[in-house]
Structure 1
């Protein structure tokens, strides 16, 4: 089947929120507890509308079905949807800062079929066009193998505190472009 990509639009948000929740619920099993998974959907993972405004967030679709989403950012935030941040992100300087890979989620029925790689390649190419020479990201434990396969190196393990007292392991990673 033909898979295409396009910039995400605000009308996509309800479908994206559903996709993100399903992706996290099913692909995080065995990496995080059920409570961590439920809490992360509520407090961390979701659409970051700043990426839509910046036109740096994409969907992958086949036919009219959105099967994945992800993007890159020229802003400071490393991870998390709108519910995870309180203020607008300052812009990064491409001469000194790394762009961000952000909010990658693949529908579980389409996982491990090269869609994530395709979208990372798109995001890296767009970041290079915008003058960036490196990328950073906050990887979930199930996402880390994909990023490692794409040449990202682990920098640090981050414990993200959630409002209900739960914590989520995230791996800060970087790649020189």
Structure 2
């Protein structure tokens, strides 16, 4: 079941995000990069909760995944990564963002991510957007490619402790059919 996330979900989501990153990023990032990213980048973006564009997926009463879309400028990162106000995007000229997608390792590769991305794309389309962008972690790239996203550029996110996290900016244009 997909539903909108609430502020009551945030403690559970922060735990899920850390478990997702630790469980699914091995082999793509070093342990130091993983821990640094959890501390400095990955987390809930409360603006998505406020905007009503952040979702959770529940399986048997357990939150198995979270993710959303945004009509704001930030490409990636939770509250701890943002320093300024996040301005609204213009659907006629800007791409909506796929944001803060995390699946608990126990629920990975069961179609949950695909289901959640589709829900976000549908919502963004219904809000007038024709293009989506995202900042993918390396373990997420294969899923996004299967969903029709194309790599645009590699971003080396410099973290405050000196670690560098590779992120791939990806883009998808909706067909006008």
Alignment TM-score, normalising by the size of structure 2: 0.98
Shift of 1:50: 0.2
What is the 5 A alignment of 1:6-45? 6-45=3-42
| SS at structure 1 position matched to 2:168 | strand
Shift of 1:63: 2.5
What is the 5 A alignment of 1:83-162? 83-162=80-159
| In structure 2, distance between residues paired with 1:25 and 1:88 | 29
| In structure 1, distance between residues paired with 2:86 and 2:120 | 19
Residue 76 (structure 2) aligned to one of 76, 79, 86:
79
4+ runs deviating over 3 angstroms: none
State the match for 2:60 in structure 1. Answer: 63
Shift of 1:87: 1.5
State the match for 1:46 in structure 2. Answer: 43
| In structure 1, distance between residues paired with 2:136 and 2:87 | 21
Structure 2: state its 5+ residue gaps: none
RMSD across aligned C-alpha pairs, in angstroms?
0.4
| In structure 2, distance between residues paired with 1:164 and 1:101 | 27
Structure 1: state its 5+ residue gaps: none
Shift of 1:90: 0.3
Alignment TM-score, normalising by the size of structure 1: 0.98
